[in-house]
Amino acid sequence: MTLLGAASELSGSSDELKNLKVTGPNLEDFVKTQSIDFRLNNNNNQRRLRAADIPKLADDAIVPLSLDDAVNRAFQFFAEFENKRFKPILDVTLPVIESVEPGSPAGLAGVKPGDIVTYLNAVKIESVTGFYFALNDRPAAEFTLKLLRNKRDTISVVMRITGKGTINDSNVGLRFVTPADAVYYTEQETKRQADQYRREMLSAIPIDWRADAANNLMQNAKRLNLIARGVIDPSGSNPAKIQSREVLAWQHKKYLENVDIYFSQKWKIERRSADYLTGMGDAVVALVCSLFIFAIAFGLFWYQRQLPGKSA
């Protein structure tokens, strides 16, 4: 009975190990830890963001991607979310240039920090988002910028890209003066953040779970993006103050905690299995000893039964 019980327990432990997995964190758990006031679309009332407000993903929308594709897509979702979140601010922020990347189309054209963009070709530019929208609306390999320099001189510069391709937000080489934390996430900045995540965060996750962690991040980033699209009023004066970097740090921390929980549970199951094997070993040794003693006793009994016959 002891052997049968131990065998049954080992079979159960084997099933537990097969079903054991690292669970990815959900955005609802993040929201529960936050004190976030927001305004619904077409509703002036503000309240705390609830887990029930997080949009669900349809089953056919949860398609695992390769590790690199999942990371890239996650940060594209983050960029879309941040650009929506800061749109009300950047819509009223003057396009004052903070820095110019050397060797870029802007740098080669002679654009300087402090210049204010007033026109892109014939399109009047009145804000940071207005510049990016005009730039991306009609991509070209060459265009003219009108600038206000030193708040009094109006100059025109021609921006050209060397080689093939068009000038866009990722290669134009301009950075604007914006309020704290308010930034337009260009394609180049999005790629930089994705690479930084690979170096500093993803590398800390055991290799067997990196693709799963990246896909979990992608799904949470997509749902975060859907909040801005379907729930939050981005034109409101107090849209939800969720930041993608906070979600990123939380997801990474929780995933590592869940990996630790996995190994802890695995160790307990394996330790229990080892105890069962030890018990089985003891039972087998006891059985062998019992059989050995029984054989000796039976031999002695048989020998004693033979002695009278020999004496006769």
Predicted local distance difference test score (pLDDT) of residue 6: 52
Residue among 203, 166, 202 at smallest CA distance from 187: 166
pLDDT at 121 over 60: yes
pLDDT of 311: 46
Is a pLDDT exceeding 90 seen at residue 60? no
Q: Which residue has the higher pLDDT, 134 or 268?
A: 134
Predicted pLDDT at 278: 62
Q: What is the pLDDT of residue 242?
A: 73
Three-state SS for 170-210 is CCCCEEECCCCCCCCCCHHHHHHHHHHHHHHCHHHCCHHHH
CA distance 211 to 52: 28
Find out whether 111 and 97 touch, Cβ atoms under 8 Å.
Answer: yes
Region for residue 88 given its phi and psi (left: phi exceeds 0; alpha: psi -120 to 50; beta: otherwise):
alpha
What is the tens place of the pLDDT at every residue in 186-241?
A: 887 888 899 999 999 999 999 999 999 999 999 999 988 887 665 555 555 445 56
* pLDDT band per the 50, 70, 90 thresholds, residue 50: confident
pTM above 0.85, yes or no: no
Mean pLDDT of 30-40: 68
Task: Give pLDDT, residue 312.
Answer: 42
Q: Is 153 helix (H, G, I), strand (E, B) or coil?
A: strand
Residue 241 CA, chain-centre distance (Å), reads 19
150 C-beta neighbours (distance < 10 Å), count: 10
Q: Residue range 231-252: average pLDDT?
A: 70
In one-letter notation, the amino acid at residue 296 is I
